[in-house]
Structure 1
Amino acid sequence: IEEDDDSGRPVMSVEVMEQALDSRRQLPAYSGLGEKREALPAFKQRADVIQTVGGAQVVLLSGETGCGKSTQVPQLILDSCPEARILVMQPRKIAATTLAERIASERCQRLGEDVGYQVPFGGKATNARLVFLTLGVFRKRMLTDTELRGITHVIFDEVHERDKLADFNMIFMRDLLARRSDLRLVLMSATLQMETFERYFERAAKINIPGRVYPVSQLYMDEVVATLYKQPMFRSWLGPGVLCGGIDIPAGAEGDWNERAWKQVVFQHTKPEDKETMWGLEEKGLKEQMMAPMSKARLLDGLRKHDVLQQSSLAFDYPIIEALILHIDRMYKNQQKAKGESEEEKPAGTILVFLPGWGDIDQLQKRLVQNFSSDRFKILPLHSQVTAEQQEQIFNPAVPGTRKIVLTTNIAEASITVEGTEFVIDCGRAKEVSYDPYLKVGTLTTSWISRASAKQRAGRAGR
């Protein structure tokens, strides 16, 4: 009951695949996962997705983070079109592998059956009909097969994360669509700003999938410091001063200002043409306004002192992050006691900590492992350098009585959803590729994130 497609690979008949799908749907495990799938906004909008993808050659699909578009849209196409062969491009290796594993588990299958992945130096996709791959792997594939024979659908996920490779693949796809009228292209993004792609692909159909968003309360740096310093435990934890951006701020309002730190602030935030000096600023009373770390004083350009102080260095406030995690856990325990519930009855909500890169994750992980109880906290890094076993722990439910702390980069902004996240600690920075005009090379530097990225990260606590 098998035939060969144009690529020479064996393909089961439509009837056999439908029977196999019906059989899996009868499994208890499939039923349990099916309930989670059905709760996702992308699954609820399946009729619209299937009809639009079937009727248009190019589809622009925007869906809020956590709506299920990355896991559900490929499956909806796969189940509605049994003869489909789908390629899904992901900007990151870890997203390609984890999404493939997630979908395979939702379908009660092993990797490599219906679902697989292809990444540099590895993959499980010999006979898979739905393959997740990185941008580089896709480029190599289309260079060896310029017609993408046997492929019926191509999905670009996270298209807003553009670079030279992504744009190159986009150019190739637009040219290929002109030659292959049977090929379907789906561009997916967590942002509604799709105007560029609307202009590039004429007559593209559009779909918008809303997310499941719960109210999120946001606290900023000065509020966090004020909250922690009200508690004697954390005053001793943080020591005599607060580390803000690498500058030690005295804990007492009456303390003398660190002269080295003051010079850094003044000279970095004073325009030369203003002819301001440190002594001139002292006469205006600005120095006294900044002496107290909990003051609400505003500086020359309206920035709060924490904003300005953190500009002077890209060091992180690791002690504050540690104290904040403990504060969150203590607050949760007090709430459980007030309700008369035991801490051991259910797992505590996951804390997601955003950091720029692997070095920052590694350093904070070592500090947390050293200072925190391993029975209570499970410290898990989320990065492309961690092993598959470590990645699996991140997506497994926490054991009752424990709390997961996931240390991640901007990969968790949109590409990957960590279920059970109730708290987000955002350091506000990310690693970005920039061009050095002096060295004439691309460099990976730490920089401040955009307001849109900050909103995406905060929204992770409300999914």
Structure 2
Amino acid sequence: MHNLPIDEILPELKTALRSNVNAVLVAPPGSGKTTRIPLALMNESWLNSRRILMLEPRRLAARAAARYMARTLGEQVGETVGYRVRMDTRVGPRTRIEVITEGVLTRMLQADQALDGVGLIIFDEFHERSLHADLGLALALESQAVLREDLRLLVMSATLDAGPVARLLGNAPVITGRGQAFPVDTHYLARRGEGRIEPAVISAVFKALASNTGDILVFLPGTGEINRVHAGLIELGIEQQARVVPLYGNLPPAAQDLAILPSPPGQRKVVLATSIAETSLTVEGVRTVIDSGLMRVPRYSPRTGLTRLETVPVSQAAADQRRGRAGRLGPGVCYRLWTEHDGMYLEPSTTPEILAADLTPLALELAAWGVARPEQLQWLDLPPEASFGQARELLIKLGALDTNGSITPHGRHMVQTGLHPRLAHMVLKALEIGLGGLACELAVILSDRDFFRSGDNLLDVDLRLRVEAVRRICAGGMIAGQSFDIGVCRRIRAESDRLKQDFGIESNCQGDAEACGLVLAFAYPDRISQQREAGRFLLESGRGAIMAKEQLLAHMPYLVAAELDGQGSESRIFLAAPVSLDEIRQHFQQQIVTETIVAWDRAAQAVRARNYERLGALILKDSPCTHPNPAAIAAALLAGIAREGLGILPWTRASIQFRNRLLFIHHWEKGWPDVSDEALVATLDSWLAPYVYGLTSRAELERLNLAAILEDMLAWDQRRELDEYAPTHIIVPSGQRIPIDYTVPDRPVLAVKLQEMFGLKETPCIAHGKVPLTLHLLSPAQRPVQVTQDLANFWRNTYFEVKKDLMGRYPKHYWPDDPTSAIPTSRVRPKIQT
């Protein structure tokens, strides 16, 4: 066994774990920590022959690490060293080291919280901060604190900030190792290219082949880019210089080995990989790295309740990890397909998944653990409250939690499946109606990447075609007009058969693909969709969704959307299947609400009563209500008045004057009702409601006598005082009874001809003499010639100027020199008394 840099710190690590239950190890990529440390600790006395569990973020890395350690011992996988990943287990009775994926640890902890027979859990590549790694560490710390004081935890990483993790582990010792890193010559682009990244990658590959020796590792964000770069390289004749091999998580083991193992002598290879090759997994023979600078990460939106994959720039830490892959064997070269200036703006590290992911699986696991709120456990980063709350709401809808947040028997069964809660619920519900086989097929199809290649076929969105493709291709058939990845299709068939076996279903038990929509609705009840118009749908959750009108599914009355992008006000639908209204009514009856809605119809200006059958935001049936509740009609009518405004009411001149008088007295005296617009709208239920029973429309409101209704707001003594305090009219010196205008509450107006006020020396007042009237003194033609609240001052200082003007325009009228002693008149001249 050749020496590795990690060997230098093994004594320090062993000492730390002999005296502490927890430790943190930070060592650069290539130091050998993944494959050396479990073997070195396997025979420690404190382990007492118990097993070591080592967590890897990815299945490919878990299998590769187990195979490497087994070869080191001269054994086969499944003897001393084995692995457990989803749908693939290689362990035996003598297995001491189990390399597992993080979800497997969660399953093991849920099955046995004490982890009997396990002495050490190693969290490898913890810097990736996957959701399951954070959850696994939180549960392991709880188990250690309550049940297993002797259980040891070791957190390992190449780029992790060790301080916070060490504190979380009870101020655990931190051991730091050195790597075997050779210098890497780094090249940047002179300027960023536009459009797709593939042309720049292809150009860099040919440049690297011509300039450097050894194999080339290319980092791309996803399988779509890998396939396009692969096709472009083959088209340009790269096979004359090197083999091109892909590397991503869902490849079969043989294809993974082709990428990982060294090239035969005299041959070179170009490995097109996702971020899976950043850590823990070593691609042998690499001397050159080409980094697209992009990665694909899931982003969950609490606003939409949807998770979508986003292509984002890599973090600085990830970029350094990628570059380091070129310096494992000797001096290397790294081509970064961004400018050096762009690199200054990269995030220092990748956002932990727990802060940006769908927390539904986490919420279910915590409920199964017996924890109602995340705060009850220890975390590096507490799960966001909004996302966690939304996850709990979904689990209640799926029947996994009760309304108190406690796990139900159905929820425990969901946990045991190991599937995402949506898919677990789907399979369990489908089993009840004889569609378990179809549900298993759908669960695997939805968990894998879409194997249909983009094309012009109008059925691309239809999930039923994926099911038919899996069935036909594995039976030797094809689907006309469709292009798809046969390898992925066959893998899905194999995994669905294994999943069926887990549920006790025969592999040939499939079920009618036409039932896809119904089965899918069990997983996505919030995405049952109703057509608004061709290509536009309303989801049960209330959001909108769209698809191209050319899609045949665009014309279905109901469908279930399995995949949407969650962007904008209307999400784009990528995968869906139709479901019938009868199926919705039969299988979602408990969620369907029948209600009568009595509401104001603005267009008709009347109250309308209708019966609705509703599933969330979807109206399944709409019919008139023949006998609505009278109180509901009155309430809807009042709501309509509030919406339309008080102008909808029949305000006559008398009711307007009465209301203005009340506004006046309310302005000057306490204890009087407020009849302003705001107050009347806010109190419709108290002053108007008793008078609108039996009325349904604006036309019928014309029957109301608003003056009488407003008068009913007054106490008996207020009614008696109203006429004294705010009289409707006042008798002026001419003997005429003139109305008072109360339009402006603090300035009541008396509009009267100037001649009718002769002989009156002071301004008349109301409100028991407290409020002078604002006099609009009019000419014989009823036009204002003066506005005043001080009549005495007008007679004294202004009248004579006004008199000159009026005498010129109205020479036949009476214009005395002393208006305070003159005879008032409403005629041209006063009548001579005899």
Instruction: Give the alignment's TM-score, normalised by structure 2.
Output: 0.38
Q: Which residue of 2 aligns with 1:386?
A: 251
Residues 7-59 of structure 1: CA deviation (Å, up to 9, x unaligned): xxxxxxxxxxxxxxxxxxxxxxxxxxx12xx1x11123222222222221001
Range with greater deviation from structure 2 (115-124 or 194-203) = 194-203
Contact 2:23-2:166 within 8 A present in 1 as well: no
Q: Which residue of 1 aligns with 2:284?
A: 419
Which amino acid is 2:14 matched to? I
Q: C-alpha separation between the residues in 1 aligned to 2:315 and 2:286?
A: 22
RMSD (Å), alpha carbons: 1.8
Q: Which residue of 2 aligns with 1:155?
A: 122
| Matching residue within 188, 197, 207 for 1:327 | 207
Establish whether residue 197 from structure 1 lines up as the match of residue 165 from structure 2. Answer: yes
Quote the offset at 1:67 in angstroms.
0.8
Q: How many pairs does the alignment contain? A: 324
Looking at CA atoms only, which structure, 1 or 2, has the larger radius of gyration? 2
The correspondence of residues 11-410 of structure 1 with structure 2, limited to 5 A, is 34-35=1-2, 38=3, 40-80=4-44, 83-127=49-93, 128-178=95-145, 179-222=147-190, 305-306=191-192, 310=194, 313=195, 315-316=196-197, 318-332=198-212, 348-374=213-239, 376-410=241-275
Which amino acid is 1:133 matched to? I
Structure 1 regions of 5+ residues with no counterpart?
1-33, 223-304, 333-347
Which amino acid is 2:7 matched to? F
Q: C-alpha separation between the residues in 2 aligned to 1:414 and 1:389?
A: 20
Q: C-alpha separation between the residues in 1 aligned to 2:263 and 2:167?
A: 45
Contact 2:23-2:169 within 8 A present in 1 as well: no
Residues 243-268 of structure 1: CA deviation (Å, up to 9, x unaligned): xxxxxxxxxxxxxxxxxxxxxxxxxx
Range with greater deviation from structure 2 (352-361 or 189-198) = 189-198
Quote the offset at 1:142 in angstroms.
0.9
Q: C-alpha separation between the residues in 2 aligned to 1:79 and 1:363?
A: 48
Q: Name the structure, 1 or 2, with higher relative contact order (CA <8 Å, separation 6+).
A: 1
SS in 1 for 2:209: helix
Q: C-alpha separation between the residues in 2 aligned to 1:358 and 1:408?
A: 8
Quote the offset at 1:165 in angstroms.
2.4
Which amino acid is 2:321 matched to? Q
Residues 131-159 of structure 1: CA deviation (Å, up to 9, x unaligned): 01111111111111111001011101111
Which amino acid is 2:89 matched to? G
Q: C-alpha separation between the residues in 2 aligned to 1:456 and 1:58?
A: 26
Q: C-alpha separation between the residues in 2 aligned to 1:166 and 1:192?
A: 14
Q: Which residue of 1 aligns with 2:684?
A: none
Runs of 4+ in 1 over 6 A off after TM superposition: none
Q: C-alpha separation between the residues in 1 aligned to 2:178 and 2:252?
A: 33
Q: C-alpha separation between the residues in 2 aligned to 1:190 and 1:180?
A: 28
Quote the offset at 1:374 in angstroms.
3.3
CA gap 1:369/1:54 in 2 versus in 1, 3 angstroms: farther
Q: C-alpha separation between the residues in 1 aligned to 2:137 and 2:125?
A: 13
Q: C-alpha separation between the residues in 2 aligned to 1:71 and 1:394?
A: 19
Which amino acid is 1:320 matched to? A
Quote the offset at 1:399 in angstroms.
1.5
Which amino acid is 2:234 matched to? V
Q: Which residue of 2 aligns with 1:228?
A: none
Which amino acid is 1:109 matched to? E
Which amino acid is 2:199 matched to? P
Quote the offset at 1:432 in angstroms.
0.9
Residues 172-214 of structure 1: CA deviation (Å, up to 9, x unaligned): 1111112322211100011141222122111311111111111
Which amino acid is 1:73 matched to? I
Instruction: Give the alignment's TM-score, normalised by structure 1.
Output: 0.67
SS in 1 for 2:184: coil
Quote the offset at 1:437 in angstroms.
4.5
SS in 2 for 1:202: coil
SS in 2 for 1:149: coil
Quote the offset at 1:419 in angstroms.
2.5
